[in-house]
Structure 1
Amino acid sequence: MVRQSAVFGENLILRRRIQIEVFGTRVDIADTVENAGFRPTPHAMLYHLNFGYPFLDQNTRISGDISPDFTAAFNDGDKRPHPDFVDYYEGIAVQPNQAIATIELRNEALLGGMRARLSYPTAALPALGIWRAFQSGIYALALEPAKPQSPETNILAPGESVTYKIGIGIGSTTDPNQPFL
């Protein structure tokens, strides 16, 4: 449990449940945010899932319920580390009318092929961003599903709670039927 509170401000409680099956290939995370205060409180949620070397390299590809234009640009782009690279965040459009968004990163060259798959409900987490930090010595890529803060729509009444769920699976590209996510 984590509490975020301030005098004359918010009083939010986050409860997290992490589920991992023995010998499984996935991790399920369920977070419940509760307004334990006495006044309505705006809130936001962002998951930051980092991937780095050796999974991240020039052979890493992205696919899933995202813009085909972004997919093509990322897959064909230069993903090598550079000493003067400046990190940046890019908002990515998720395919419309998807109840569950699934994003997959693959690297066919790593150990004969590895993949990581992220899955989450788009109603709860409607935004998706990708953070790139391809600077030498840092070299990371993050998938970031989020519910941005909006004082008009993301308000929790006193005693109200909301639950967010994401799933992360790891598997081999040589066995596409491997059960994960």
Structure 2
Amino acid sequence: MNKYIGNELQLWGVEEAILVSGKANGMRILNVRNGKGLEFTVSLDRGADISRVIFKGDNMGYFAPCGYVSSKYYDSTGDGFLKSFTAGFLTTCGLTAVGTPCVDNGETLPLHGTISNTPCDNFRYWTEDGKIHIKTRVQDAALFSHKLVMEREYICPLDSNSIYLIDEITNIGSVESPLQVLYHCNMGYPLLSENAVVTIPSDGVTPRNKHAIEGLEHCLQMEKPQRGYQEKCYYHKIHGIPRISIFNSNIGKGVSLFYDTKELPYFTEWKMMGEYEYVLGLEPGNCLPDGRDVMRKQKILEFLKPDETKIHHIKFEFMEEAPC
């Protein structure tokens, strides 16, 4: 115990809060601080995603024009997802649909699924062995349909500026269910600017469409905000446990993502250099964002059998030196 303090919140810890303004009214959040310069916010009513990350005073993620939006305003029609897409540092897409709205196997699926607009059933947090732990549980289930549960744990060490994410997704139903998950990690200003250096150790890059072909050669080069910019997506072929990084020497800060490609075999780079819509998506997943119907046709759609569990691990490491 530290004899200089009366409560650990002087230095680190988790504080619960409820937002009260506009469409954010009633949203439950957890504000987390590790005492080493890392602060982040977990949105309990938005799938336990990470809405904000501040590293030693600088913002790391992108915050969309809509800001915080309660899940009660979610519009599941077509691309209605965008009306409440806060983006934030992390938005989880899934659990049975990712990407383009489509009809698959007779089921109408919305953009990026529903899990990021689903409140947690329960949560708890504690500090143990020099680490902050947060555990949450979210259900993605319906009558006569899929029945999945996502149990998420965040681990944040008190002696290093890292966040570990562990997701355990279980099929609690009696029939096999499609499983689609994409971790939509959104980098924003001042981390993201034309001076940011992005490193993706890929063996090959495929542009998503004809429009993206135009920028293929410079897909890792960031640009100034541009009026009328059209988003570009690139699919990177990656193996092993890669280090995906973005570092900006202007602020002397960056972040790296580590994950296992055996768990998450696909990686999407979403490059959006528009005015006020200035964001870089670094997105590991078990699928590509082309719609579940396309994944099924390409025979790469993943399934969960009854009582089966899939586990995903991602580490976010925040740094003050450019990666070697």
Q: TM-score scaled to structure 2, two decimals? A: 0.49
Task: Give SS of 1:81's match.
Answer: coil
Kindly indicate whether residue 154 of structure 2 is the aligned counterpart of residue 18 of structure 1.
yes
Counterparts of 1:24 and 1:133 in 2: how far apart (Å)?
Answer: 31
Look up the match of 1:90. 234
Q: Is the 8 A contact 2:257 2:317 kept in 1?
A: yes
Counterparts of 1:162 and 1:121 in 2: how far apart (Å)?
Answer: 13
Counterparts of 1:131 and 1:155 in 2: how far apart (Å)?
Answer: 25
Q: 1:159 to 1:60 in 2, by over 3 A?
A: same
Look up the match of 2:243. 102
Q: Is the 8 A contact 1:52 1:141 kept in 2?
A: yes
Post-superposition offset of 1:99: 2.4
Rg larger in 1 or in 2? Answer: 2
Look up the match of 2:210. none
Runs of 4+ in 1 over 3 A off after TM superposition: 67-72, 149-153
| 1:117-146 superposed Cα distances (whole Å, 9 cap, x missing partner) | 000000010000111221111211110001
Letter of the structure 1 residue corresponding to residue 308 of structure 2: E
Letter of the structure 2 residue corresponding to residue 74 of structure 1: C
Counterparts of 1:27 and 1:52 in 2: how far apart (Å)?
Answer: 18
Look up the match of 1:55. 191
Post-superposition offset of 1:26: 0.7
Post-superposition offset of 1:74: 3.5
Look up the match of 1:121. 260
**Which of residues 30, 36, 39 in structure 1 aligns to 2:175?**
39
Post-superposition offset of 1:62: 1.4
Q: 1:68 to 1:25 in 2, by over 3 A?
A: farther
Counterparts of 2:217 and 2:254 in 1: how far apart (Å)?
Answer: 18
Kindly indicate whether residue 210 of structure 2 is the aligned counterpart of residue 66 of structure 1.
no
Counterparts of 2:231 and 2:265 in 1: how far apart (Å)?
Answer: 23
Q: Is the 8 A contact 2:226 2:275 kept in 1?
A: yes
Counterparts of 2:222 and 2:176 in 1: how far apart (Å)?
Answer: 46
Root mean square deviation, CA, Å: 2.3
Counterparts of 2:163 and 2:222 in 1: how far apart (Å)?
Answer: 30
Paired residues in the alignment total 170
Q: TM-score scaled to structure 1, two decimals? A: 0.84
Look up the match of 1:157. 305
Q: Is the 8 A contact 2:193 2:222 kept in 1?
A: no
Counterparts of 1:128 and 1:136 in 2: how far apart (Å)?
Answer: 25
Bigger Cα displacement from structure 2, 127-136 vs 143-152: 143-152
Counterparts of 2:222 and 2:305 in 1: how far apart (Å)?
Answer: 46
Counterparts of 1:84 and 1:73 in 2: how far apart (Å)?
Answer: 19
Task: Give SS of 2:219's match.
Answer: helix
Q: 1:72 to 1:61 in 2, by over 3 A?
A: farther
| 1:49-78 superposed Cα distances (whole Å, 9 cap, x missing partner) | 111111111111112422487997234x45
Task: Give SS of 1:32's match.
Answer: strand
Kindly indicate whether residue 178 of structure 2 is the aligned counterpart of residue 30 of structure 1.
no
Q: Which runs of 5+ in 1 are unaligned?
A: none
Structure ranking higher in helix proportion: 2
Post-superposition offset of 1:89: 2.2
Look up the match of 1:140. 279
Letter of the structure 2 residue corresponding to residue 6 of structure 1: A
**Which of residues 129, 143, 162 in structure 2 aligns to 1:7?**
143
Letter of the structure 2 residue corresponding to residue 103 of structure 1: I
Q: How many percent of aligned residue pairs carry the same amino acid?
A: 23
Letter of the structure 1 residue corresponding to residue 234 of structure 2: E
